[in-house]
Structure 1
Amino acid sequence: MASTTTPSSSLFAVFLLLLLLWGVSRHPSEAREPFACDPKDATTRNLPFCRVSLPIPERVKDLIGRLTLQEKVSLLVNNAAAVPRLSIKGYEWWSEALHGVSNVGPGTKFGGDFPGATSFPQVITTAASFNASLWEAIGRVVSDEARAMYNGGKSGLTYWSPNVNVFRDPRWGRGQETPGEDPVVVGTYAASYVRGLQGNDGNRLKVAACCKHFTAYDLDNWNGVDRFHFNAKVSKQDIEDTFDVPFKMCVKEGKVASVMCSYNQVNGVPTCADPNLLRKTVRGVWKLDGYIVSDCDSVGVYYDQQHYTSTAEEAAADAIKAGLDLDCGPFLAAHTEDAVKRRLLKETDINGALVNTLNVQMRLGMFDGEPSAHPFGNLGPKDVCTPAHQELAFEAAKQGIVLLKNRGPSLPLSARRHLTVAVIGPNSNVTDTMIGNYAGVACGYTSPLQGIGRYARTIHQQGCANVACAKDQLFGAAVDAARNADATVLVVGLDQSVEAEFRDRAGLLLPGRQQELVSKVAAASKGPTILVLMSGGPIDVAFAHNDPRISAIVWAGYPGQAGGAAIADILFGTSNPGGKLPMTWYPQEYLKNLPMTAMAMRPSQSNGYPGRSYRFYRGPVVYPFGHGMSYTKFVHTIARAPAVVAIPLDGRHARGNTTLSGKAIRVTHAKCNKISLGIDLQVKNTGSMDGSHTVLIFSSPPAGHWAPHKQLVAFEKIHVPARAQQPLRINIHVCKFLSVVDSSGIRRIPLGQHDLHVGDIKHSVSLQAATLGVIKS
């Protein structure tokens, strides 16, 4: 049938369609009505709490003064109730954005105009990039997509991410969510990602981030002990030296809007009921400008399961008086009013909690009327899963992949010589596995098999039905594939069935018969055999490292939606690997005398306790913290660095030696803002391939029973073209990074010789007490 439409009418129809689409993209917030203070609502638009021109504290005070006790109590929980008489809608506080907008938690729903969101690599993989600017860039993208989904009525604005617990024990199922074992790296990640999420306007938040889980939380379910019943017995030294470092950096440097207290007890007190942790430290010492929220149901947990209080009303009162502002769960809504009636709590205590939550909501613009009036009110479906966002996820995966072994070298593979590649293993064609936990719905996936298929003809055999690899029925076909290919890539490792929230690992070896599969395939392979590992935690693959038939080993972590493309680009040399391990890879024997419940970081010779992390453990490893190879070679040279740094003392402490203890100065007694240690480096790429390199600077402080044998004091990512060199200036904050913590939990700067290690180079600098901040070269 012939069309009767004229060209001019077709053009007009196209014009109308474009106009309509422009209107949808220009005003996506039409999908969401104002949360409060609707300018069309005559009953509230002129009330002080709705006046944007007034300071937020005045607006908050006015609103709290209008609420009844019952209304106040209904706002103390994550699914905060509406206040219809003041035209305030209900709000779900619980959304997650660990490495992309997630649908874990009730605050976010995918569907309609928002079928998915960019799924970045799991945090442990992104941490391996050691690239703080990348971490912040990911935060900016995630918050763009989060705001867009909020404007479209699909999510909230309060995200309970990131997880900044230190990866203390290699068996922890949630270690994948963390930036690794070094407290400074974890804290730097926290501050960077939070800045990306929240934006740079201190009084106005793009979204509100949350650093969790405070504190000493790193056991989920091990050997009959679970997180709901665990009492973490931690020394003051380890609290100050390790567990609290990332949280302090998150609050003081990242300016995070929220901190979440954890399920466990610390030294007999539930963290969510401990005023020393919450009111005194987080809000008092660190000056949190925001709210403190419980992990979900943790107030109920310490009443029902830990039996910390005799009555539910006492539990509610303890939480609020300790400094808790918001309960993820129903407990405070059910019991706080009765706690007031029983005079265990004052209504003014509840007011104090609401000041902190309402302050954050107002900084988010939720009481400013139309969402479209907000600076980010124009974000919508067009701003989610954009090509630029997906490209950043691809780039993050490439930067986080770590080359552990390269015999020969065998990598990179050649698309001209390796025409046929056998792709084998239970993780060889996975998609969901690549995004780890606390993920949402990805924009799309490229599996390892698909990625490698862009470079070569593939022969695919799983070898194992899944990572449990209980049977060898599929081994024969995998071995045959390896015999008939120019190269073999084995993609093995773990997934959420092995390591996850509430699922700690029993050991560090590959699950089931995976090791047997790897060895048999490697023995039969006609060409080079490349082992690719997917995991959050470390794996003891010493067998593969020592097997000459296994040419190379690559750790991909959980590399996100573009993981397969990133793996292939690394394997075939389109990209040069530059990742470094953010955690130590221990041998299985390390666990022999190491219960997960033992929290001490330092070793004990008396009972054979080995100590934890590269800072304190001196035994054998499979791969050390910071290990990572490249397809090129980088050489460091120190161009200039001081030999002596004088530590000026503050005020009255400059007279006499009252500040010295064991030849160390209390950090609080030093003029920290006047101490500088700058190092000028030259980084040379002596190879034939451009590459990015992470410069790691470690310090070995003067020997002492409280000092780590070495600690990371600075890191920087630098790109160096082939056969070129780049200058790099690194400034080390002496008080923060050259200090150590004594057995009483006091941070001190050890005087005397500190040895700085940059790769194979050692530079010694002497720290001396002085009344003038002089640096001598």
Structure 2
Amino acid sequence: MKKTVISLVVALSLTACAGSSSQQTNTQEAAPAYKNTELDMQTRVKDLVSRMTINEKISQMYNDTPAIPRLDVPAYDYWNEALHGVARAGNATVFPQAIGMAAMWDKDLMLDIATAISDEGRAKHHFFADNDVRYRYTGLTYWSPNINIFRDPRWGRGQETYGEDPFLTGELGVQFIHGLQGDDAKYLKSAATAKHFAVHNGPEISRHSDNYVVSDKDLYETYLPAFEKAVVDGDVEAVMCAYNRVNGMPACGSDMLLKEILRGKYQFDGHVMSDCGAIADFYDPDAHNVVKAPAAAAAWAVTSGTDLNCGTGRLSTFASLNFALEKGLISEELIDQAVERLFMTRFKLGMFDDAAAVPYSDIPMSVVGSEQHLALAQKASEQALVLLKNDGLLPLKKGVKVAVIGPNANNVDVLLGNYNGLPIKAVTPLEGIQQYLGKENVTYAPGSPIIEDIYGHGQVLDEKVLFHKTGDGGLAPGLVGKYYAVERSPVTDFTRLSFEGIINGDPKVTRIDKALDFYFEKSPVDDSVLGDFAVVWQGTLVPETSGQYRFSDDADVSIDGKTIDSAVQLEAGKSYAIKVSKIFADDRISNTSSIMRQQFTLQWVNESENLLQNALDTARSADVLLVMAGISPRIEGEEMPVKLDGFNYGDRTDIDLPEVQKELLKALHSTGKPVVLVNFSGSAMALNWSDKNLNAIVQAFYPGEATGTALARILWGEANPSGRLPVTFYKNIEGFADFDDYAMENRTYRYFGGDVLYPFGYGLSYSDFNYSSLALPKTLTSGDELTVSVDVTNTSGRAGDEVTQLYLRMPDAPVRVPNVALKGFSRTTLQAGETRTVSITIPADELTYIDNSGEKQPYKGRLEVSVGEGQPQYADTQSVQKGVITLQ
């Protein structure tokens, strides 16, 4: 009996074990395929999308996608920016603006910069995700680089590009993409986006309605080559289609661009997103107005191959896909295709896998603004600065007394350009020169506004002029800041879609703030990452100087109970009651945090000062005048509400310096003292008078947060100038075609027939370089690659970097071809007296021309080859080698 009982217990135990094992097997079998990391990603993606309802699928086609809790799909916003550093997500290392990075002419450094950017991006993304923050600018899908061609110097967004040449743009773009996306065989570090596809480079004011007509030849010869390289060589994960129409079709609904070229010829297999609001332009009466209903626009865009709708404040047109499906305008299979492409990117980024399996998920926040990244930013700034003129004044001697003058001398804006992050350690030109020489050895005056009432020398309101009353009735530095919780009011005005924040209850925190200059990573009210709050600062303002003061518009300001919305007269030493209010409330419509995108700073400027006379007074005690002039990203950029003399909604109407700055330069020149001009701009400037009259000129573009340090090192010879222009600096724009004429005739160095001020590829050095011993074959079979070598000698007593440029000319082509075309370049460091052989190989695909049908044809005949410091028609005899090859 006992044996029977034992046998029964054993049998039951075995049965239980078998049942448990069977249950585990069933559980494993029940796990959805999309969670099985042993399967390939395509299988997993298809399985996930197959489990979604049609409403869920469509919801995943907006830039700010909601969560699908039942499938463990978190909310995600695709919109992020990394043009020259992680942008609009708080503190990050800010490298030179894209046009400045192009001026480096350095593919290796471009790769290093993009790698640093993606390091910081990964760290930030995981920090935000760990805090359940899923706003815009927290993801890993970066809408960079901008590889449009800077065909016209009037374009305000040209600063975002790598210049006017398709070859240079393509080569640099590929390196930037590789740095962003990483080198893992399975996972993307981040997803890069090539934009804006295609034929997109101004005017800003009419980009939503313009139809750009281009020939097949110009399309394939100028506007598309960089995109082809981005896809074919860079394996870019995403492409953004443009606002404008191309030959009659909206770019985001162009079968020619998206189906035939992008997915057909280039075999692109990533996802396509619209520029923000571009699908609404299809039916907007003030834009393209090519369809009458949102559903038709949505169906058209998806059918042509646009997978994601960035909607912004115009909301998502793709929300109408349900209606389009109901009416038979689109099939569910096309919607599935788009959603699968989008989720493929998210799977590649490791968003549905264990973080331990994703090689980039453990990058710490300590990389953001690390010493290594700041050193890299300084190196990039040094290489981005282009020496345009030098009569021997530079480099300056250590003991020289300098006056730093100009509206951009202490202007942080010109360090950063647009689409930027908040710099870790911004050094303005004034600060860099003061640090180099000692503050006591440098005098300073702003000299002028940038233009009209746009100033570059605004000052932060701080404890020098801000006070609060103490218990004994005295004044102590700083304002009393009271921090409140915020509650949301419902939308009541549907013409302005926003949820207004309202101060709620008593202050949660009260403290003394010495300066109105903050970046809030966390809410002071509840310590939540990027949480909402409001602040009211109150106290006493005591100006040090009498004058007419203008405040920046970052907050509501009242003085003695009166709201300030224009310049106000204030007296030195007089006490004024000041109240500053600011509500930091997130925008649910745009899915943005109000405190992550930019620093909160309240500045003022005294408009009563005689800036010109102050500059002349400052100049008296100096041996050399360093003038920091130019324009700023506040007046050139993307679709800006700026209408000033020479500027039109972000674009330029002429390319001169503003008149007030020309007056400043002429007055300083009249002192008889040597003048060095450092010009800040994202675009080419007609510096004709300065070239004739000043001693030295440096083109800075917008050179990143290390600008001041880099500039001082260049001016005093600690670093040797090596930047080269990625755009032509014209003498004027007289005779240029209309801005919206997209024919390439007489545009860029490849087709321009007139005299220029400084040519594409130009830049001086403190060293001298000679070229000799050009080696190239006499003949070459069409279809073979071409290798050219040349000896480069540094004939000076100073080490320096030389940028060797290879240009081709095809005089026997049967159609119009470029005057000359860049087809190779190399940066080489040479010690004093050193000779090195530089070898450049040109792939056979570059030894072709584009015929009038847009087809690439192998070139046969004489091929004129030039290798040297710049374009053959501008280079000195000793600085270029020329030869002729016969292609047969």
TM-score range, shorter chain: 0.7 to 0.9
Residue 130 of structure 1 pairs with residue 105 of structure 2: yes
Inter-CA distance 398–467: structure 2 relative to 1 (3 Å threshold): farther
Residue 545 of structure 1 pairs with residue 691 of structure 2: yes
1:763 is matched by which residue type in structure 2?
Answer: K
Alignment counterpart, residue 711 of structure 1, candidates 810, 821, 827: 821
Q: 1:518 matched to which residue of 2?
A: 665
1:244 is matched by which residue type in structure 2?
Answer: L
State the shift of 1:276 in Å.
Answer: 1.6
Alignment counterpart, residue 754 of structure 1, candidates 857, 863, 869: 863
State the shift of 1:468 in Å.
Answer: 4.0
Q: 1:669 matched to which residue of 2?
A: none
Alignment counterpart, residue 232 of structure 1, candidates 172, 187, 212: 212
TM-score (norm 2): 0.74
Inter-CA distance 137–715: structure 2 relative to 1 (3 Å threshold): same
State the shift of 1:74 in Å.
Answer: 0.4
For residues 240 and 700 of structure 1, the distance between their equivalents in structure 2, rounded to whole angstroms, comes to 18
State the shift of 1:396 in Å.
Answer: 0.3
Residue 259 of structure 1 pairs with residue 234 of structure 2: no
Secondary structure of the residue aligned to 1:204 is coil
Residue 90 of structure 1 pairs with residue 200 of structure 2: no
Contact 2:728 2:748 in 1 (8 A): yes
Q: 1:396 matched to which residue of 2?
A: 380
1:361 is matched by which residue type in structure 2?
Answer: R
Contact 2:413 2:632 in 1 (8 A): no
Alignment counterpart, residue 628 of structure 2, candidates 491, 503, 527: 491
Alignment counterpart, residue 733 of structure 1, candidates 828, 833, 843: 843
Contact 2:203 2:739 in 1 (8 A): no
Secondary structure of the residue aligned to 1:718 is strand
For residues 441 and 615 of structure 1, the distance between their equivalents in structure 2, rounded to whole angstroms, comes to 37
Contact 1:255 1:289 in 2 (8 A): no
State the shift of 1:280 in Å.
Answer: 2.0
Contact 1:183 1:246 in 2 (8 A): yes
Contact 1:209 1:256 in 2 (8 A): yes
State the shift of 1:82 in Å.
Answer: 1.0
For residues 710-747 of structure 1, give each alpha carbon's deviation from its aligned partner in whole angstroms, at most 9, with x where no partner exists: 110111111101111112111011322x3221211112
For residues 95 and 768 of structure 1, the distance between their equivalents in structure 2, rounded to whole angstroms, comes to 46
For residues 451 and 532 of structure 1, the distance between their equivalents in structure 2, rounded to whole angstroms, comes to 14
Contact 2:447 2:612 in 1 (8 A): yes
For residues 483-538 of structure 1, give each alpha carbon's deviation from its aligned partner in whole angstroms, at most 9, with x where no partner exists: 21021100000102321111111110001311110111122153x21000000101
Using the TM superposition, name which of 464-473 and 90-99 deviates more.
464-473
State the shift of 1:473 in Å.
Answer: 2.8
Q: 1:350 matched to which residue of 2?
A: 335
Contact 2:812 2:862 in 1 (8 A): no
Contact 1:208 1:257 in 2 (8 A): yes
Alignment counterpart, residue 562 of structure 1, candidates 699, 703, 706: 706
For residues 193 and 366 of structure 2, the distance between their equivalents in structure 1, rounded to whole angstroms, comes to 27
Residue 743 of structure 1 pairs with residue 852 of structure 2: yes
State the shift of 1:44 in Å.
Answer: 11
For residues 466 and 552 of structure 1, the distance between their equivalents in structure 2, rounded to whole angstroms, comes to 21
Secondary structure of the residue aligned to 1:362 is helix
Residue 290 of structure 1 pairs with residue 274 of structure 2: no
For residues 593 and 544 of structure 1, the distance between their equivalents in structure 2, rounded to whole angstroms, comes to 23
For residues 205 and 117 of structure 1, the distance between their equivalents in structure 2, rounded to whole angstroms, comes to 21
State the shift of 1:678 in Å.
Answer: 0.8
Alignment counterpart, residue 729 of structure 2, candidates 573, 579, 585: 585
Q: 1:635 matched to which residue of 2?
A: 770
Q: 2:542 matched to which residue of 1?
A: none
Alignment counterpart, residue 434 of structure 1, candidates 412, 415, 421: 415
State the shift of 1:151 in Å.
Answer: 1.0
Secondary structure of the residue aligned to 1:524 is coil
Secondary structure of the residue aligned to 1:260 is strand
Q: 1:58 matched to which residue of 2?
A: 43
Alignment counterpart, residue 365 of structure 1, candidates 340, 345, 350: 350
Contact 1:220 1:501 in 2 (8 A): no
For residues 756 and 247 of structure 1, the distance between their equivalents in structure 2, rounded to whole angstroms, comes to 26
For residues 139 and 306 of structure 2, the distance between their equivalents in structure 1, rounded to whole angstroms, comes to 21
Question: Between Structure 1 and Structure 2, which shows a larger proportion of strand residues?
Answer: 2
Q: 1:13 matched to which residue of 2?
A: none
Residue 382 of structure 1 pairs with residue 363 of structure 2: no
2:754 is matched by which residue type in structure 1?
Answer: G
Residue 617 of structure 1 pairs with residue 757 of structure 2: no
Q: 1:7 matched to which residue of 2?
A: none
For residues 129-170 of structure 1, give each alpha carbon's deviation from its aligned partner in whole angstroms, at most 9, with x where no partner exists: 100111111110000000000110162110100100000110
For residues 198 and 708 of structure 2, the distance between their equivalents in structure 1, rounded to whole angstroms, comes to 35
State the shift of 1:43 in Å.
Answer: 11
State the shift of 1:703 in Å.
Answer: 4.5
For residues 140 and 161 of structure 1, the distance between their equivalents in structure 2, rounded to whole angstroms, comes to 13
2:172 is matched by which residue type in structure 1?
Answer: Y
Residue 341 of structure 1 pairs with residue 336 of structure 2: no
Mapping for residues 598-609 of structure 1, pairs under 5 Å: 598-602=741-745
Alignment counterpart, residue 206 of structure 1, candidates 186, 189, 195: 189
State the shift of 1:77 in Å.
Answer: 0.6
Higher Rg of the two aligned structures: 2
For residues 444 and 344 of structure 1, the distance between their equivalents in structure 2, rounded to whole angstroms, comes to 53
Q: 2:612 matched to which residue of 1?
A: 475
For residues 429 and 83 of structure 1, the distance between their equivalents in structure 2, rounded to whole angstroms, comes to 49
1:46 is matched by which residue type in structure 2?
Answer: A
Q: 1:324 matched to which residue of 2?
A: 306
Secondary structure of the residue aligned to 1:256 is coil
The alignment-based identity, stated in percent, is 36
Aligned residues: 672
Secondary structure of the residue aligned to 1:411 is coil
Q: 1:405 matched to which residue of 2?
A: 389
State the shift of 1:594 in Å.
Answer: 2.1
TM-score (norm 1): 0.84
Secondary structure of the residue aligned to 2:218 is helix
Contact 1:279 1:323 in 2 (8 A): yes
Inter-CA distance 290–158: structure 2 relative to 1 (3 Å threshold): same
Residue 156 of structure 1 pairs with residue 139 of structure 2: yes
Q: 1:308 matched to which residue of 2?
A: 290
Contact 1:742 1:748 in 2 (8 A): yes
Contact 2:232 2:266 in 1 (8 A): yes
Secondary structure of the residue aligned to 1:714 is strand
1:496 is matched by which residue type in structure 2?
Answer: P
Contact 1:147 1:379 in 2 (8 A): yes
2:794 is matched by which residue type in structure 1?
Answer: N
For residues 66 and 425 of structure 2, the distance between their equivalents in structure 1, rounded to whole angstroms, comes to 36
Residue 594 of structure 1 pairs with residue 734 of structure 2: no
Secondary structure of the residue aligned to 2:773 is strand
Contact 1:469 1:512 in 2 (8 A): no
Q: 2:223 matched to which residue of 1?
A: 243
**Unmatched 5+ residue regions in structure 1?**
1-41, 104-108, 111-115, 603-610, 648-671, 770-777
For residues 36 and 672 of structure 2, the distance between their equivalents in structure 1, rounded to whole angstroms, comes to 72
Contact 1:482 1:525 in 2 (8 A): no
For residues 337 and 804 of structure 2, the distance between their equivalents in structure 1, rounded to whole angstroms, comes to 46
Inter-CA distance 700–151: structure 2 relative to 1 (3 Å threshold): same
Q: 2:114 matched to which residue of 1?
A: 139
For residues 308 and 734 of structure 2, the distance between their equivalents in structure 1, rounded to whole angstroms, comes to 38
For residues 141 and 515 of structure 1, the distance between their equivalents in structure 2, rounded to whole angstroms, comes to 39
State the shift of 1:441 in Å.
Answer: 0.9
